[in-house]
A and B are shown apart, each in its own frame.
Chain A
């Protein structure tokens, strides 16, 4: 009975609390992941914008050495995985990795994602694009270097005014630090969920046992003792956690004791006629009469 009662009390609470905590953790993890990814994109955008502005200035000055230096320096930063400046045709002109420039590699050979954006017919050629969670393990941005009047009219330059895009800058930062932080967050959330589960189940079980099951077990023990003939005053003391149920039970036992005593008093006058045995048989008491608690045995008290 108690096992069933405990299960009935604990199972729904455990399912509800654990389920909602796990759900909350998953949703929280999704929110945090999204926020951190947005933050990483903002970081890579800012870095790319800075390089783009510096590159534009260097190009206006026709200072290719400075531009090479800027790209090379940014490429040495620990979290920067790649930095490249392509021309309109998709050939690498500047790169954080000088070997790529020396080999004259093209976007199609190195980075298919960027290559698609450089196709002349691509509708969103003049827009900024991001690549998150691709196979490269980088959070990348591709910024088109757009043609401007002061650029197309510069003496050093040969671009026509009707060419909207002069080239592309791609910059990618490693997503490993972000993944590492998210892994750490995930493991902490799992530990937190397990702790909540144990605390909930343990707390509910302890409270139920203390406030409900132990008083019921105590009352069951008292009822067993009373059935075996123990008098109300000899029963173990009540803790009053069950309120009127306990009081009413003791009152019933007291009433039985009084009735029994009355029968015995009136019956003593007719003791010779053997009425005492009738009383005992009516009460269904095989031990024929009261017993002190010690004599009644341990009962079922845990």
Chain B
């Protein structure tokens, strides 16, 4: 009978990796919360852009446009995460969502209406990232369970 210890170690390493991945959604949530705290202070810890950079960036889009873009983004992102969940697909795009939400904070900041719309972005961001995090956690917990079953079979073989 071949030595199955290397295979066992491989499975154990995979379980450890999956456990790490299962909490990745929470890390993104924590990152977004930190960003939101910064936004609530109107990013006063960052240095101001020079007038040249402001001129290069141009005028910020009207707040109304950003609001509608946020509604569209929020709706489609929630549908997308729910579709991933129902299809049991590998979760992806948490960092992309974090990027989009940061861009919304930046747009509102430059249009001067960040404080008025802070709670709207925060709510939609928490909703999307909580769903994503829940999906990540469920997906990797299932994978861990599969690997643990394999490990249990290998242990049985070792005992025999």
Contact = CB atoms under 8 A, between A and B. Distances in A.
A12 B124 contact: no
A244 B97 CA distance: 41
A33 B119 CA distance: 14
B120 A16 contact: no
Contacts of A31: 67
B26 interface: no
Given A12-B85, A30-B67, A22 B123 contact: yes
Interface residues of B, number: 23
A20 interface: yes
Interface residues of A, number: 17
Given A20-B74, A22-B123, A30-B67, A15 B117 contact: no
Given A27-B71, A30-B117, A16 B123 contact: no
Nearest to A19: B127
A27 B75 contact: no
A178 to B, nearest CB: 15
Contacts of A12: 82, 85, 131, 134-135
B148 interface: no
Contacts of B85: 12
Tell me whether chain A's interface is mostly helix, strand or loop, or mixed. Answer: helix
A27 B78 contact: no
B102 interface: no
Given A11-B134, A12-B131, A20 B78 contact: yes
Given A22-B123, A30-B116, A16 B74 contact: no
Interface in B73-98: 74-75, 78, 81-82, 85
A238 interface: no
A122 B55 CA distance: 24
A295 interface: no
Contact of B126 (A19, A27, A34): A19
A20 B85 CA distance: 17
B79 to A, nearest CB: 9
Contact of B131 (A15, A27, A30): A15
Given A30-B116, A30-B117, A23 B124 contact: yes
A11 B132 CA distance: 12
Question: Which of B82, B85, B120, B138 has its CB near the most chain A CB atoms (within 10 A)?
Answer: B120
Interface string A6-21: 0010011001101110
Contacts of B135: 12
A11 B130 CA distance: 10
A122 to B, nearest CB: 21
Contacts of A26: 119-120, 123
B127 A27 contact: no
B80 to A, nearest CB: 11
Given A12-B82, A12-B85, 20 more contacts: A11-B134, A12-B131, A12-B134, A12-B135, A15-B134, A16-B78, A16-B82, A16-B127, A19-B124, A19-B126, A19-B127, A19-B131, A20-B78, A20-B127, A23-B124, A24-B71, A26-B119, A27-B70, A30-B67, A33-B116
Interface of B: 67, 70-71, 74-75, 78, 81-82, 85, 116-117, 119-120, 123-124, 126-128, 130-131, 134-135, 138
27 contacts: A8-B138, A12-B82, A12-B85, A12-B134, A12-B135, A15-B127, A15-B130, A15-B134, A16-B78, A16-B81, A16-B127, A16-B131, A19-B78, A19-B127, A19-B131, A20-B74, A22-B127, A23-B124, A24-B71, A26-B123, A27-B70, A27-B71, A27-B120, A30-B67, A30-B116, A30-B120, A33-B116
Interface of A: 8, 11-12, 15-16, 18-20, 22-24, 26-27, 30-31, 33-34
